[in-house]
Amino acid sequence: MTDTGTVIWSELMTTEVEKAKAFYGETLGLGFEVFGDTNPGYWLATFDGRPVWGIMDMTQRPGGPTGWFTYMAVDDVDARVAQALKAGAELCMPVFEVPTVGRIAILQDPTGAIIGWMKPIPRG
Q: Can you give the pTM of this predicted structure?
A: 0.85
Q: Is the pLDDT higher at 122 or at 107?
A: 107
Where do the CATH 3.30.720 domains begin and end in the chain?
A: 11-66
* pLDDT above 70: residue 68: yes
Q: So what's the pLDDT on residue 23?
A: 97
Question: In CATH, what number does 11-66 get?
Answer: 3.30.720
Average pLDDT (41-64) is: 89
- The Cα–Cα gap between 70 and 15 comes to 18
User: What residues does CATH 3.10.180.10 cover in the chain?
Assistant: 74-124
When the candidates are 3.10.520.10, 3.10.180.10, 1.20.140.10, 1.10.3720.10, the CATH number that belongs to 74-124 is 3.10.180.10
Chain centroid to Cα 15, Å, comes to 16
- Look up residue 41 and give its DSSP letter: T
H-state helical runs in 54-100: 77-86
Is pLDDT of 38 > 70?
A: no
Q: Range with the lowest mean pLDDT among 29-38, 55-64, 90-99, 105-114?
A: 55-64
